[in-house]
């Protein structure tokens, strides 16, 4: 079992819809949770960053972390065609010996006009 | 001005060749990484350097060797290329060795081995 699981989709929604993207994880040591957006043939870019449990809002984007369920979500309100991309969740432990982000496989999102 | 730049963007080469990919960051970050993204889009860590010191070395064939001449550069040399090495290789950097503030990625090097 991979440490981070993410449904690859694809997910297709009409413009204006609310989008819900999710990841589950198995390692309870994860403390830092991020969402990256990756457009085709580009590098991932950091979208949202959350430490431990709770919600964080930034414009149309809301990130939620539920550590008790080992479940994180990204909500996109009023989705736009420009939101069409692959969304990758990522998480890491607090380690003194160096660390690396563990990524989910990414969910491909298509927002149709 | 590109924050993390990789060269080349595309690389097509024959099996058995040796090739290098270069990465430079102008963000003043302390830590740099190499990730491999396979055809299924899965991003997997290969190496990490913090201030020129190797701190993460995942299970990667010995044919892959990173080199960090200074903290702004991290290059990847690959010997005896194999078909299975075909992937997109991403360089990234972070402000500190813990990556608390996330990574900044380059735009990737698409390697095709024929």
pLDDT on residue A1: 58
Query: Which of residues A68 and A95 earns the better pLDDT score?
Result: A68
Query: Which of residues B50 and A21 earns the better pLDDT score?
Result: A21
pLDDT score of A98 more than 60: no
A46/B56 CB distance under 8 A = no
Split at pLDDT 50, 70, 90, the class of B11 is: very high
Among the partner-chain residues A49, A51, A98, the one whose CB lies closest to the CB of B55 is A98
Look at strands A107-112 and A11-14 and give their pairing.
parallel
pLDDT on residue B99: 60
Average pLDDT rounded to a whole number, residues B12-20: 97
A49/B101 CB distance under 8 A = yes
Q: Which residues in chain B are contacts of A7 at CB distance < 8 A? A: none
Return the bridge partners of A20, or none. Answer: A75
Q: Which residues in chain B are contacts of A98 at CB distance < 8 A? A: 48, 50, 55-56, 97
pLDDT on residue A9: 86
B97/A99 CB distance under 8 A = yes
Q: In the 3-class helix/strand/coil scheme, how is A22-91 assigned residue by residue?
A: EEEECCCCEEEEEEEEECCCCCCEEEEEEECCEEEEECCEEEEEECCCCEEEEEECCCCHHHCEEEEEEE
Q: List Cβ<8 Å contacts ≥24 apart for B94-98.
A: B94/B29, B94/B30, B94/B31, B94/B33, B95/B27, B95/B29, B95/B30, B95/B31, B96/B29, B96/B30, B96/B31, B97/A98, B97/A99, B97/B30, B97/B31, B97/B50, B97/B55, B98/A92, B98/A94, B98/A95, B98/A99
Q: How far is CA B15 from the centre of its chain?
A: 20
pLDDT score of B98 more than 70: no
pLDDT on residue A3: 86
DSSP string computed for chain B? --SEEEE-SEEEE-TT--EEEEEEE-S--SEEEEEEE-TT--EEEEEEEETTEEEEE-S--TTEEEEEEETTEEEEEE-S--GGG-EEEEEEEESSTT-TT--EE---EEEEE-
Angle (CA) A41 B19 B5, round 5°: 40
Among the partner-chain residues B55, B56, B98, the one whose CB lies closest to the CB of A94 is B98
Q: Which residues in chain A are contacts of B40 at CB distance < 8 A? A: 8, 105
């Amino acid at each position: 079992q991979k440490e981070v699981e993410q449904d690859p989709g694809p997910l297709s929604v009409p413009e204006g819809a609310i989008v819900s993207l999710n990841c589950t994880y198995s390692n309870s040591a994860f403390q830092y949770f991020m969402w990256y957006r990756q457009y085709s043939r580009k590098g991932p870019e950091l979208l949202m960053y959350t430490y431990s449990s709770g919600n964080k809002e930034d414009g149309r984007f809301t990130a939620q972390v539920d550590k008790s369920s080992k479940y994180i979500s990204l909500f996109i309100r009023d989705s736009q065609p420009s939101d069409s991309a692959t969304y990758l969740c990522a998480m890491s432990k607090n380690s003194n010996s160096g660390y690396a982000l563990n990524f989910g496989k990414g969910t491909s999102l298509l927002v149709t006009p | 001005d590109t924050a993390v730049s990789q060269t080349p963007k595309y690389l097509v080469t024959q099996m058995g060749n040796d090739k290098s990919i270069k990465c430079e960051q102008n963000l003043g970050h302390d830590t740099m990484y190499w990730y491999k993204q396979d055809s299924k889009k899965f991003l997997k860590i290969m190496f990490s350097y913090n201030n020129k010191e190797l701190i993460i070395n995942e299970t990667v064939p010995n044919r892959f060797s990173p080199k960090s001449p200074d903290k702004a550069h991290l290059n990847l040399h690959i010997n005896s290329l194999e078909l299975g090495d075909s992937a997109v290789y991403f360089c990234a950097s972070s402000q500190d060795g813990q990556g608390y503030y996330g990574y900044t990625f380059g735009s990737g090097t698409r390697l095709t081995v024929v």
